[in-house]
Each structure stands twice: as structure tokens, then as C-alpha cells.
Amino acid sequence: MSFVKYVFVDESGDLGLRGSKFFSVACVVVEDPKTLSRIIKKARERILKKTLKKLPELKANNSNQKVREYVLRKIKESNCKIYGLVVDKSKIFQHLFEVKDRLYNYFLGILLREIEETGKLIITIDKKYKNTLLRENLNEYLVKKLKEEHPNLEIEIRQIPSYASNELQAADFIVWSIQRKFNFKDDWYFRIIENKIVNKNNMELWK
């Protein structure tokens, strides 16, 4: 078993008072990040039309069914673990929507504590905050929460824009399929990867 595991995190939906009914966040854990990178690279090379290959980022929401199914089926075939968290926003106290950054940190902390790994985790998160202090607060919060669960775990956190990471783009397809199931009652894509989701039976934070 590899000492180092790589974790790629993305979210779908929003944490506004209105907007989507659900907020979803998911992560995919792999021993070799090239596993995910190759999936996105091959999707570009084999499926996308020539005019679309130069897009800065491959996103599930902007892709057609052929691309979505290709990416998700390749993820299903890969050696990875998926963890998801789904939040029904109607159950969040209204005043908490005023501190979206803390809400996001809190939900991400719950998700990552689900990961059962030893050794070292290198966690890559879609760069969400422009503010340096908010990024540092997120890193510190996640390290604290993970250490509570796994005191001997080594943790490295990176925050980069998703257009610069094929692996984060793969995570986007995963969390999109989860959000699609809960927010739109369409589980077509979710069913492709559901057997890879380690915590499938307790993804919903408040049932």
C-alpha cells in the first residue's frame, strides 16, 4: 500500500440563502494522480471536437452525455475511492448563510474526516478564495480536524484553480453527478460511479 495518497476535492451547488436546494462536496482518493489526469486528457483527445479541445477546462456541466459517461466510466474502472457529502440547505440556520466561508470549511472538514488512510495525504482543493487569510484559515481548520481523527497523519494542502488541474476536473464530474441526483432527482450518472463511493449509505448530512 502506498504511503502517500492524493485527494482531490470539488463542490457543486452554492451556499447562498437561495440558489440550489442542495450543496454537495466530494473527494476522490488515488495513489497515483496520473490515474485521473489521463482520463481527462484522453476525453479531450478522443471525444471532444477540434473546436472544443482548446477549452481551458473540462467541466461536467458544460459537457455532453458522451463526455460525461466516458469520464465517469473511466473513473469507475480506476483504482480510486470516492467520498461524498450532501447538505439539504433548508436545514441550515438562516444566519449561517452570512458566514459562507465558515460553512464551507465546516462541511469540507466533515467530508475529509471520513477518509480512512494512514501515512500522508496530499489534498488538492479547487482554489475558491482570493483572500490569502481565508485560504490559510481553511488549511489550518482542515489540518486541525483531520488531526483530531488521525493524529499521526501527515497532511499537505494545496489550493489551485481547477483549470490548472486535470485531477480536479475529474473530481468535478464526480460531484456534479452527486448533485444531479439530489438536486434534480436524476441518478443516471450517479449510478455509474456509486459503487466507488465509500460512504454511499451515509452521504447525506441531515436525513
pLDDT tens, position by position, 32-45: 999 999 999 999 88
Mean pLDDT confidence for 10-19: 92
**Phi and psi (nearest 5°) for 169?**
-65, -35
Torsion 9-10-15-20 (CA) sign: negative
Q: How confident is the model at residue 1 (pLDDT cuts 50, 70, 90)?
A: very low
* CATH, domain 4-202, list 3.90.1150.10, 3.30.390.10, 3.30.420.10, 3.20.20.30: 3.30.420.10
The pairing of strands 4-12 and 22-30 is: antiparallel
Torsion 184-190-194-198 (CA) sign: negative
pLDDT tens, position by position, 84-143: 999 999 999 999 999 999 999 999 999 999 998 889 999 999 988 888 999 999 999 999
pLDDT given for residue 129 in this prediction: 82
- Residue 196 makes CB contacts below 8 A (sequence gap 6+) with 75, 76, 80, 81, 82
More confident residue, 183 or 47: 183
181-190: list long-range contacts, CB under 8 Å, 24+ apart: 182/21, 182/22, 182/24, 182/86, 183/13, 183/20, 183/21, 183/22, 183/24, 189/60, 189/68, 189/69, 189/72
